[in-house]
Amino acid sequence: MTVSFLHRHTIGINRRELLQVGYTGLLGISLPSLLTQQAQAAAKPVKTPRKGKSVILIFLTGAASHIDTFDPKPEAPPEIRGEFKAAATKTPGLLVCEHLPRLAARADKYTIVRSLSHRENNHLVATHHVLTGYPQPGAFFDKVASRDDWPCYSSALHYLRPRNDGIPTGVNLPTFLMEGPLTWPGQHAGFLGPKHDPWQITSDPNSPNFRVESVRLAPGLEIERLHHRRALLEEVDHQRRQFEELAECRRLSDQQQLAFSILTSGKIARAFELDQELPTVRDRYGRHMFGQSLLLARRLIQAGVPVVQANMGRVQNWDNHSHIFSTLKNRLLPPLDQAVSALLDDLEATGLLDETFVIMLGEFGRTPKLSLLPGQTVVGRDHWAPCFFGLFAGAGVRGGQVIGKSDKVGAYPTTQPYSPDDIGATVYHVLGVDPASEGRDRQDRPVQLNRGQVMEALFTGAVG
């Protein structure tokens, strides 16, 4: 099994990375590969009209409690409903947590699905399922990322619709989900190979020193000098023709071409210049990681990136086994409420909401009943995959809906459940890709990317 740790090492650097450092050091730049191979699969007709061109996936890594956010149970016993009060919204029948006032006031812009469900209560396995729309092959507890995994949505899109115009197909920010020896699956291209991996940004956009070195020229390096370096690089490449047939060398060559394209066009580089936004706009999103990450996501969408994943916090940020109410109230919900509300407002004001599919969810929900877990001194909620929520907006989604219903304690759906496979099918559909499209695994065998069903109720208004 090959595990991707994205260049984080404690004992050194491998030969493959040494080659990469050698090339990128000569250039003064560094980019992940975004290659061009394979033709787009033919789209199969679907009842639901497609309006979307892009996707912003807001990932609540660690899994937010559905009961303490978008599926409150005010009539349930205290050990179920918790400490928070439920607040009314613009949408009849939709109550949300009292600590989400901005999103409550914008309930007409989005739909809440309360009947998401699957079987994986483990963070890594569940994350793979949600971020790829397919169960992890050979899944077991804490199975780390592997090149046998299914591709994330942007990787599949890049495989089916290759591009070399200087615009990456996918960007993940601002954190890479990794903790110790565990690398979360679902963040890569999986069996499609590293050339289709999304671009990983691993720095906080709220930092005063935020900059993405991979799309900036080295200090003092002008375009003319860059072309001189390119000529030198081509001469070096000429001396290394014996490696040209190696896949990794071809990958580096494509990396270089993309790097030059981005650096000379500057379109993506400008997207990272958050200081060009009015201070009032940055303030509206919030001067914190959540806010500036979603502002950057909006700028990347405007620059033409079709899929952006914004992780709301570090690994397992929402994994509140203890102190759940103080953590949500003081640290997590206020910045999320501010940032997502500002994003929806901005996308609507610019007309981008009509063509941008916005999704917010975690890998599962939290247990209905509060409990004191081993080693804890304050109650919290454990993992719970049978029932959780998702927020959906834009790209033709009918706002002001509640789709699906959970039982009186939020334990199980009482209406049609939707799986991560269905979420994946919907993402692909919005992007104009047949969910049943095939890729090729590492043995060059045809593999169907998704087996879910498009969540038509999001777009038609029919009760799901």
pTM of the entire predicted model: 0.84
At 351, list the tokens. Answer: 């007309």
* Residue 437 covered by a domain: yes
Long-range contacts of residues 207-213, Cβ cutoff 8 Å, at least 24 apart? 210/272, 210/274, 210/292, 211/272, 212/269, 212/272, 213/29, 213/30
Q: Is the pLDDT of residue 36 over 50?
A: no
For the stretch 4-32, pLDDT in tens is 333 333 323 233 332 332 323 323 333 33
Q: What is the DSSP string of 312-339?
A: -SSTTTT--SSSHHHHIIIIIHHHHHHH
pLDDT (0 to 100) of residue 218: 59
Instruction: Compute the distance between CA of residue 428 and CA of residue 333 in angstroms, rounded to an integer.
Output: 29
Q: How many residues does the chain have?
A: 464
pLDDT (0 to 100) of residue 386: 98
CATH, residue 309: 3.40.720.10
Q: What is the DSSP string of 77-105?
A: -HHHH-SPPEEE-SSTT-EEETT-HHHHT
* Residue 196 covered by a domain: yes
* Residue 307 covered by a domain: yes
For the stretch 375-416, pLDDT in tens is 889 999 999 999 999 999 999 999 999 999 999 999 999 999
Long-range contacts of residues 107-110, Cβ cutoff 8 Å, at least 24 apart? 107/399, 107/400, 108/399, 108/400, 109/344, 109/348, 109/353, 109/393, 109/399, 109/400, 110/344, 110/358, 110/391, 110/392, 110/393, 110/397, 110/399
* Residue 222 covered by a domain: no
* Residue 243 covered by a domain: no
Q: How many CB atoms lie within 10 A of CB 445?
A: 10
* Residue 295 covered by a domain: yes
Instruction: Compute the distance between CA of residue 417 and CA of residue 419 in angstroms, rounded to an integer.
Output: 7
* Residue 353 covered by a domain: yes
SS3 434: coil
Which helix (H) or strand (E) covers residue 401, if one does? strand 401-403
For the stretch 182-199, pLDDT in tens is 999 999 999 999 999 999
Q: What is the DSSP string of 198-237?
A: PEE--S-TTSTT---GGGSPPTT--HHHHHHHHHHHHHHH
Q: Is the pLDDT of residue 265 over 50?
A: yes
Q: What is the DSSP string of 89-158?
A: -SSTT-EEETT-HHHHTTGGGEEEEEEE--S--SHHHHHHHHHHSSPPTT--TTPPP-TTSPPPHHHHHH
Instruction: Compute the distance between CA of residue 330 and CA of residue 59 in angstroms, rounded to an integer.
Output: 19
Query: How many domains does one find in the chain?
Result: 1
* Residue 118 covered by a domain: yes
Q: Which domain holds residue 451?
A: 39-210+285-460
